[in-house]
Structure 1
């Protein structure tokens, strides 16, 4: 399985650190030349591979960690996203009426036609996501929501591999609303830093 993170701000770098801690190789890209962030990637670890957007979108599983307003530009990198699993790690406080009354992930799913979309890794602030998910003998929880059971299970397995404890919330329009912002109202699980003990 091949992985990529698109966006290399605070969230993108926190995700990259999770991959580095687990020794899992991941491509990282932005809309900028990879040379402009190669030194930051090198500091995180040798399994973090800076690349172009055109190369990153060849991965099978892709984290979307750009500003919400930038996702349409990323979507243009491929004409057809079929066969890709896309993890929407973005948040937006755009008023619901500007999103057609839809959860932001439903808007993202339309832009990335054909992709299997999972909402996840977005409820933790970057400073928390950045930390080792092993806490006091437990594992930090990440919430996942998707309309595709296979994709949700696949991302759940990856979250476990990265050291997190995935909790499936169900479909985007159901449990997924708990990790969506709706204008100035945040879903009830956003910013909840929970630890699961086995």
Structure 2
């Protein structure tokens, strides 16, 4: 399984730290040329490699960490998303609700990635918390996962476990996904909740 993080701002870098901590290879890409990202990527760890967006999208699993308004540009970069897993780590602010067709942000984003296995995840924690070691106090920091495709959640849950997190499935995007949905002045009840799951 190959991985890429598209977007190398605070959340993208936080996720890169999580991959580096476990020595898992991941490509990072953004609107900036890869040579501009390379020094930061190297500073995070040797398994973090900056590449072009085109190269990043060759990965099996792609984590979206771009500003919300840029997701359509990423979606247009591939003619087909069939066979890809896309993890939406974005939040929709400052997009007003009317721009989302009345849908939860991830359900709206999923329309642009037709054919992909689409999962909402890794979006409810602030970057500093997401970047920190998730193994704390005899347990693992929780990340919430939602998808309209039940089969899509299992490999993303496996990735979360590899990274040291405790994945918690919330159900479909318009059900549990709404609990971690943030846009304009509407905040899901689980946004910024830093929860831990004790080891059994």
Q: TM-score range by the shorter chain?
A: over 0.9
Indicate the SS of the match to 2:35: helix
Instruction: Tell me how far apart the structure 2 counterparts of residues 121 and 42 of structure 1 sit (CA, whole Å).
Output: 23
Listed as ranges, the gaps of 5+ residues in structure 1 are: none
Query: 2:58: which partner in 1?
Result: 58
Aligned residues: 198
Residue 176 of structure 1, CA deviation = 0.8
Superposition map of 1:159-174 within 5 A: 159-174=160-175
The equivalent of 2:16 in structure 1 is 16
Aligned to 1:130: 131
Asked if residue 139 in structure 1 is aligned to residue 140 in structure 2, the reply is yes
User: Once the 2 structures are TM-superposed, how far is the Cα of residue 183 of structure 1 from its aligned partner?
Assistant: 2.9
What SS is found at the alignment partner of 2:87?
Answer: strand
Measure the CA separation in 2 of the matches of 1:21 and 1:2.
17
- Whole-Å separation in 2 of the counterparts to 1:37 and 1:156: 28
The 1:7/1:182 distance shift into structure 2, 3 A limit, reads: closer
Q: Are 2:141 and 1:178 aligned? A: no
RMSD of Structure 2 on Structure 1 (CA): 0.8
Say if 1:66 and 1:130 are closer, same or farther in 2 by CA, change over 3 A: same
Runs ≥4 in structure 1, deviation > 6 angstroms? none
TM-score (normalised: structure 1): 0.98
The gaps in structure 2 that reach 5 residues or longer are none
Aligned-partner SS, 1:154: helix
Distance 2:156 2:112 in 1: 20
Distance 1:45 1:181 in 2: 31
